[in-house]
A = this chain, B = another copy of it.
Amino acid sequence: MRSKGFEGMACSVAAVMGAIGDRWGMLVMRDLLLGLSRYEDLRHSTGITNTTLSDRLKMLEENELIERRLYQSRPDRFEYRPTAKGRDIGLVMQAMVQIGDRWNSMGVAGPPIKFVDKLTGRGVKLITVDQETAEPVAAQDVGVQPGSGADDLMIWRLTRSSN
């Protein structure tokens, strides 16, 4: 479950998915971003087996998304916190919540979780804006281009696509 095979791939999607690992890694990140920090709480929240949970915590730590800190000795107990890099995953989580709610694939009455402005308590959402002017850009006008770090494969993908 390590990011083997993703090194050197000039693609941020591959890099981020490599760091998260898999669905279990993402669910652990979700819980840590929601503020859970203790192993037993993560166990209870996700229902993941000990083996899988330990492995994913180790992987997320190796990938520098989380930090482990001793909070009790004899027996040693650790808590886990997202790093600055890990807190970035919040944007991916927000995107997932936004589209998951649109799909309503959980068959529930409404959204299970709401992103809000803590100052006003009002709901928030992600929108695409011009990087400089901050003017909103409509979804259908958003496109992709090779960036300055694009490798041959990325340029091939984007050229091939325009056929």
A interface residues, Cβ below 8 angstroms from B:
5-6, 8-19, 21-23, 26-27, 30-31, 34-36, 41, 44-45, 47, 85, 88-103, 105-106, 108-132, 134, 136-137, 141-151, 153-154, 156-158, 160-162
Contacts and interface: CB of A to CB of B under 8 A. Distances in A.
A122 B111 contact: no
A17 B6 contact: no
24 contacts: A5-B47, A10-B112, A11-B30, A12-B106, A14-B23, A15-B100, A15-B103, A15-B105, A17-B23, A19-B105, A34-B161, A45-B153, A89-B99, A95-B126, A114-B144, A115-B128, A115-B142, A115-B144, A116-B145, A122-B131, A123-B131, A124-B131, A124-B142, A126-B127
B116 A143 contact: yes
Dominant secondary structure of chain A at its interface with chain B: mixed
A122 B130 contact: yes
Per assembly, the copies of the chain total: 2
Contacts of A22: 22-23
B23 A145 contact: no
Given A9-B106, A149-B112, A125 B131 contact: yes
A32 to B, nearest CB: 10
